[in-house]
Amino acid sequence: MTSSASSAASAASWPVLVVTSRCPCQSGETYGSCCGRLHNSPFHDAAARAVTAERLMRSRYSAFVVGDERYLLESWHPSTRPSTLELDPAQRWFGLEIRRTTLGGLLDSTGTVEFVAKFRLDGQVSEQHETSRFVRLDSRWVYLDGA
């Protein structure tokens, strides 16, 4: 990392969203009634659980927006979850497009979500195009991996 990139990263901080903010997952709901409800509750709380694979994917995207490493790790399958996660607050996520969802519904045990997420880092706009796989573990959706 260059000195200027290091300075930019250390000067950056995570966006703080209030419950009335528009949710970054682009559901059209407020953060408090959408992803914030999931982020601010214990992951194993049955009342605050993503009911579909797409809903979990959207909440994970929002966790990247606000830098919620705890939520990302808790919603990751134990067999593929890293021991730590270090997000860069200088990387700003600003757009999500869901391209396709396969299975991942209320009665399914597996599902995939293809998406494109846009971000800005060091003045450059880029995107992450991924098809994420999700599985149910103890009756809740978790992220397995992506390609």
Q: Does 115 map to a domain?
A: yes
Name the domain count of the chain.
1
Determine the pLDDT at residue 124. Answer: 97
Determine the pLDDT at residue 6. Answer: 40
Share of the chain above pLDDT 90, in %: 84
For residue 52, which of 106, 6, 7 has the smallest C-alpha distance?
106
Determine the pLDDT at residue 59. Answer: 97
Q: Does 3 map to a domain?
A: no
Determine the pLDDT at residue 43. Answer: 67
The one-character DSSP state at 29 is S
**Contacts for 80 with CB less than 8 Å, ≥ 6 apart:** 143, 144, 145
At residue 33, what are phi and psi to the nearest 5 degrees?
Answer: -95, -5
Phi-psi map region of 26: left, alpha, beta (phi>0 left; psi -120 to 50 alpha): left
Q: Does 27 map to a domain?
A: yes
Q: What is the pTM of this model?
A: 0.89
Q: Does 22 map to a domain?
A: yes
Task: Give the residue numbers spanning the domain of 56.
Answer: 17-146
Give CA separation, 37 vs 29, 99, 105, in Å: 11, 24, 20
Three-state DSSP at 71 gives helix
46: confidence class by pLDDT, cuts 50, 70, 90: low
* pLDDT tens-digit readout, 71-127: 999 999 999 999 999 999 999 999 999 999 999 999 999 999 999 999 999 999 999
Share of the chain above pLDDT 70, in %: 89
116: domain CATH number? 3.10.450.50
**Mean confidence (pLDDT) of the chain:** 90
Indicate if the pLDDT at residue 129 is higher than 60: yes
- Range with the poorest average pLDDT among 8-22, 57-71, 110-124: 8-22
